[in-house]
């Protein structure tokens, strides 16, 4: 048996290694809490192996990141004086270094799911260690739940060890003990960190000038070492670099930007020791993924961009938010790795103290479709009843399940369909799995592999690159450039790293194709236009609800109306410049403090409206009964109704096959398409606001999707009208609970009645001053907040005519605003007591915090 080389230094965790081993002999599970510097990653797995707890099988160590899996494996192998791939090995995507004698295997969290699909009993594994569990990635959460289930049902001998730096270990221990014969053991260790002196500088003014002030202070007070600055994004980094350039040069500091889009060589520059003192301007990469030695001081801007997923629209969001206290502590700790340090926070102490303790774990934020498909494949028919470590929000579960049904991956009984099984064979999001299956069925597997690779990895073009042509799809142009890169090494206009990674993923997908679809000669025999059309149809199957219709340009951008409701803009990098109908493939809803919510489409694909009808008819006509039900659900779903309205504009029911035509006709007869569209959207808004209210107001009435659907059914059958619904106070009640008064609901309808009896969907165009718009958005959840400019409230109304056509009208509701501002102000004062709220918004400056 391998033993530690004598030169290995002692670490704090060594004090408790015997306790850990003893505990695991008694109990099947253990939780180890040890702060950074304790040495848990390098010592604990090895100690378990040396104690023989693995029973001759493997010890599997889960890491959140590939780099960590590789590096720690190398360090542990080195501590044994062995090469990698002997006793100690690692395995990450595209790369593996293990041998026949390997007993300690470091893998990424994402690989565990793949291993479980290959061998549901994990027969080669004796111990699983989940490292850095406090980061709470969805793969880690899901991994823990699946391992617990496996241990209880089929592998009582399997040992589960959870290691965490800052997490409250009690919750994990309770989860692992719940209903078990043996309690889960809990062991804590000291860490090894140097003290960091933290100061709060308060923050008014902009980030970049705040950084300069803090830097000047550090230099003034005798800075000795490097400075690490945390900023939310590349844009802020560039701005701060500009602002600090002169001072830094004067103080002998060299500036290094550090963020994810930089090529590895430039990232290395920021991390490596340097002859001059460094000023490193970094995003969150430096919080967990990259460690930098020699940092004497941290300047923390207190902000980060947080990615999430909006279950109500199915659109990914990117929101600038305040970091949690745990995250702030982690950032400060970066100054105390090798010596005592300082941390200057660009926000006030009271601001810090009021922040949430932890960043919400991924399971509360992200799209669950992939995780849910895995669960179904592991035999969990009802994910809502699954023993999650922490259950995801009900709305997200419903959205994920809905998407899986719609993609045809899961049937109504929660069983994985044949199509779903085929999708599971690929390491891709279910949408992209469907894209590949559809590409195979339509005879273009090669093109589909390329498109799926591009859509699953980060963009291959620099941010801000402008469209170079007018084409049918961004992925098609990207694929042509990837081909140039592959054939001739031509990197022009591309980001070399991401482009090569996309090629690597594409090749992996090509290898994963079923044997009988690997022959690409037939595909290559097709005319180019035919091939591309087939790919675009496959994309429609993968993104069925992301249909969009072009509208007039807004501020130089192509305006889009989304089938699911709401407006979007086509990014300037997209090549889809003229197509009237398209798919929004890569979408992002941004919300920044100083401007309203914006939906930006970065990657699009032109489609023919007839395909929409074809797709619907396919679902209705050609599939079995389960599919028929799914299609019916699709048509009946509130979101679909607007989509149906758009469809009805372009076609008549006469062109449809009988069943589809009948369904459409019945629905159209029930209320008329314009009513459909209006009421469905209003209901969706109601649910969104209700969810928002429920999150902020204890005991608020909640309108669940079931209730909303029931109401919708009543509307469709003519038993009630939207006006009655509103009169019944459900809608007003909810808003009143937040706003504390009547009248406000009239500021937030998604629809209004116009003179002449026309209905209009309302989209508030955010304008200056933006601060009020962003505050109001908090009230109305998903709806765009109104804004005030010089006393005028400009509103952009998308009028939906009975034929489904939308027209855009800008109007001015200044008088309306004047009548209601006092109520709004009262509510704002209650909600944001630390700010002073002007009597008259027309003359007001942005609110300043009260001293």
User: Interface with DNA by CB under 7 A: which residues?
Assistant: 64-67, 92-93, 96, 108-111, 113-115, 118, 137, 139, 232-235, 259-261, 283-285, 289-290, 304-307, 318, 370, 425-429, 456-459, 461, 463-464, 508, 512, 555, 557, 569, 571, 573, 586, 588, 590, 592, 595, 598, 600, 602
Write out the two tokens for 737: 């609970």
Rg of the chain's alpha carbons, rounded to an integer? 28
Q: Which is closer to DNA, CB of 21 or CB of 467?
A: 467
> Alpha-carbon distance 607 to 546, whole Å?
11
**Closest distance between DNA and the C-beta of residue 782, in Å?**
18
Q: What is the distance between the alpha carbons of residues 64 and 268, in angstroms, rounded to a whole number?
A: 21
Closest approach of DNA to the CB of residue 261, in Å: 6
Distance CA 94, CA 505 (A): 9
- Residue 724 Cβ, how far from DNA at the closest point, in Å? 39
Cα separation, 202 vs 199, in Å, equals 9
CA distances from 135 to 55, 302, 327, 361, 818 (A): 29, 18, 10, 7, 48
In this structure, are residues 40 and 34 in contact, taking their beta carbons and an 8 Å threshold? yes
Residue 410 backbone class (left: φ over 0; alpha: ψ -120 to 50; beta: rest): beta
What's the min distance (Å) between Cβ of 499 and DNA? 12
Q: Give whichever of 422 and 751 is closer to DNA, judged by the CB atom.
A: 422
In this structure, the number of other CB atoms found within 10 A of the CB of residue 499 comes to: 23
Parallel, antiparallel, or unpaired: how do β-strands 185-188 and 29-33 relate?
parallel
Q: How far is the CB of 524 from DNA (least distance, A)?
A: 24
CA-to-CA dists, residue 107 to 169, 422, 473, angstroms = 23, 25, 36
Q: How far is the CB of 304 from DNA (least distance, A)?
A: 7
Strands 581-592 and 315-322: what pairing? parallel
Considering the complex, state which of residue 28 and residue 370 has its C-beta at the smaller distance from DNA: 370
Closest distance of CB 598 from DNA, Å: 5
74-85 burial: b if 16+ Cβ within 10 Å, else e: bebbebbeeebb
Stated length of the chain: 851
Written in H, E and C, the secondary structure of 98-118 is: CCCCCCEEEEEHHHHHHHHHH
Helical spans, DSSP H, in 121-263: 138-153, 169-177, 207-220, 234-250
Q: Of 45 and 571, which has the nearer Cβ to DNA?
A: 571
Q: Smallest distance, Å, CB 117 to DNA?
A: 8
CB closer to DNA, 258 vs 793: 258
Fill in the DSSP letter of residue 334.
T
DSSP string, 416-436: BPHHHHHHHTSSS-HHHHHHH
**How far apart, in whole angstroms, are the C-alpha atoms of residue 227 and residue 218?**
9
**Distance, first Cα to last Cα, the chain:** 66
Give whichever of 508 and 808 is closer to DNA, judged by the CB atom.
Answer: 508
CB of 296 to DNA, least distance (A): 23
Q: Name the residue nearer to DNA (CB basis): 234 or 380.
A: 234
Q: Is the peptide bond before 389 cis (omega within 30 degrees of 0)?
A: no
Instruction: Tell me the closest approach of the beta carbon of residue 333 to DNA, in angstroms.
Output: 17
Write down the residue that tokens 């109504």 correspond to.
Answer: 412
To the nearest whole angstrom, how small is the minimum distance from the Cβ of residue 640 to DNA? 27
Distance CA 562, CA 559 (A): 10
Rounded least distance, CB 581 to DNA, Å = 22
- Cβ nearer to DNA, comparing 317 with 690: 317
CB of 361 to DNA, least distance (A): 12
Q: Minimal distance in Å, beta carbon 376 to DNA?
A: 14
Residue 118 vs 706, nearer CB to DNA: 118
Contact present, 373 and 410 (Cβ < 8 Å): yes
CA–CA distance, 593 with 591 (Å, rounded to integer): 7
DSSP 8-state secondary structure symbol assigned to residue 327: H
C-beta of 456: minimal distance to DNA in Å?
5
Phi, psi of 811 (to 5 degrees): -140, 180
Angle between helices 730-739 and 673-696 (to 10 degrees): 40
Nearer to DNA among residue 186 and residue 569 (C-beta): 569
For residue 808, CA distances in Å to 538, 567, 690, 800 come to 32, 11, 28, 9
Can you tell me which residue has the tokens 């569209």? 677
What's the distance, CA 328 to chain centroid?
21
Angstrom CA distances, 567 to 233, 293, 603, stand at 25, 47, 16
In the complex with DNA, the residue whose CB is nearer, 265 or 654, is 265
């Amino acid at each position: 048996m391998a033993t530690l080389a004598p030169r290995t230094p002692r670490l704090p965790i060594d004090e408790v290694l015997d306790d850990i081993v003893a505990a695991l002999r008694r109990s099947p599970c253990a939780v180890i809490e040890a702060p950074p510097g304790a040495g848990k990653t390098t010592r604990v797995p090895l100690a378990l192996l040396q104690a023989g707890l693995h029973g001759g099988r493997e010890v599997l160590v889960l890491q959140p990141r590939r780099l960590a899996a590789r590096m720690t494996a190398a360090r542990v192998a080195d501590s044994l004086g062995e090469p990698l791939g002997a006793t100690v090995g690692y395995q990450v995507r595209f790369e593996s270094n293990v041998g026949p004698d390997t007993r300690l295997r470091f893998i990424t969290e994402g690989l565990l799911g793949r291993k479980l699909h290959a061998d549901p009993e994990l027969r080669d594994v004796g111990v699983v260690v989940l490292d850095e569990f406090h980061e709470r990635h969805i793969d880690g959460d899901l991994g823990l739940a699946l391992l617990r289930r496996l241990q209880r049902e089929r592998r009582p001998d399997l040992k589960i060890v959870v290691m965490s730096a800052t997490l409250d270990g009690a919750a994990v221990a309770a989860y692992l003990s719940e209903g078990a014969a043996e309690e889960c053991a809990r062991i804590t260790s000291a860490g090894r960190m140097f003290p960091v002196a933290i100061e709060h500088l308060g923050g008014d003014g902009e980030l970049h000038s705040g950084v300069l002030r803090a830097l000047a202070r550090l230099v003034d007070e005798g800075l000795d070492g490097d400075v690490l600055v945390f900023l939310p994004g590349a844009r802020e980094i560039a701005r701060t670099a500009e602002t600090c350039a002169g001072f830094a040069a004067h103080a002998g500091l060299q500036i290094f930007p550090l963020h994810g889009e930089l090529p590895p060589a430039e990232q290395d520059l920021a991390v490596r020791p340097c002859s001059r003192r460094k000023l490193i301007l970094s995003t969150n990469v430096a919080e967990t993924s990259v460690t930098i030695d020699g940092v004497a001081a941290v300047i923390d801007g207190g902000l980060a961009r947080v990615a999430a997923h909006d279950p109500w629209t199915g659109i990914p969001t990117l929101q600038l938010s305040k970091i949690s206290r745990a995250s702030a502590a982690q950032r400060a700790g970066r100054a105390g790795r090798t010596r005592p340090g300082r941390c200057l926070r660009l926000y006030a102490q009271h601001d810090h103290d009021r922040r949430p303790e932890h960043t919400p774990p991924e399971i509360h934020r992200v799209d669950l479709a992939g995780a849910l498909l895995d669960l179904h494949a592991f035999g969990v028919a009802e994910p809502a009843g699954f023993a999650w470590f922490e259950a995801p929000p009900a709305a997200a579960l419903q959205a994920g399940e809905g998407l899986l049904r719609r993609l045809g991956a899961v049937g109504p009984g929660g069983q994985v369909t044949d199509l779903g099984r085929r999708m599971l064979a690929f390491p891709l999001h279910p949408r992209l799995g469907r894209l590949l299956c559809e590409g195979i069925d339509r005879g273009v597997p090669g093109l589909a592999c390329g498109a799926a690779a591009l859509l699953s990895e980060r963009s291959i073009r620099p941010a801000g690159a402008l469209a170079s042509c007018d084409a049918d799809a961004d992925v098609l142009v990207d694929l042509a450039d990837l081909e140039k890169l592959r054939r001739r090494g031509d990197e022009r206009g591309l980001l070399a790293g991401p482009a090569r990674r996309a090629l690597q993923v594409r090749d992996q997908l090509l290898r994963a194709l079923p044997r009988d679809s690997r022959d690409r000669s037939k595909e290559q025999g097709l005319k180019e236009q035919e091939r591309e059309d087939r790919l675009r149809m496959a994309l429609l199957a993968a993104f069925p609800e992301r249909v969009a219709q072009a509208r007039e340009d807004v501020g130089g951008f192509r305006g889009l109306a989304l089938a699911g409701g709401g407006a979007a803009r086509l990014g300037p990098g997209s090549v889809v410049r003229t197509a009237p109908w398209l798919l929004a493939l890569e979408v992002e809803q941004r919300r920044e403090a100083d401007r309203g919510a914006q939906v930006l489409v970065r990657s699009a694909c032109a489609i023919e409206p007839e395909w929409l009808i074809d797709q619907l008819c396919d679902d209705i006509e050609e599939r079995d009964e389960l599919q028929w039900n799914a299609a019916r659900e699709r048509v009946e779903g509130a979101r679909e109704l607007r989509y149906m309205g758009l469809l009805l504009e372009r076609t008549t029911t006469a062109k449809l096959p009988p069943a589809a035509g009948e369904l459409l006709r019945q629905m159209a007869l029930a209320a008329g398409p314009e009513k459909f569209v209006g009421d469905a959207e209003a209901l969706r808004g109601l649910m969104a606001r209700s969810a928002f209210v429920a999150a902020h107001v204890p005991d608020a009435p909640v309108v669940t999707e079931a209730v909303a659907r029931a109401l919708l059914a009543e509307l469709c059958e003519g038993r009630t009208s939207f006006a009655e619904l509103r009169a019944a106070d459900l809608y007003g009640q909810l808003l009143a609970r937040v706003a504390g008064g009547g009248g406000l609901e009239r500021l937030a309808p998604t629809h209004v009645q116009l003179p002449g009896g026309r209905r209009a969907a309302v989209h508030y165009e955010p304008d200056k001053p933006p601060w009020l718009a962003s505050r109001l958005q908090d009230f109305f959840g998903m709806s765009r907040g109104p804004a005030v400019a010089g006393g005028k409230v400009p509103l952009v109304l998308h009028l939906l005519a009975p034929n489904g056509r939308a027209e855009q009208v800008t109007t001015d509701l200044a008088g309306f605003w004047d009548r209601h501002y006092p109520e709004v102000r009262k509510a704002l004062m209650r909600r944001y007591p630390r700010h002073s709220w002007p009597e008259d918004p027309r003359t007001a400056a942005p609110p300043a915090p009260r001293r």
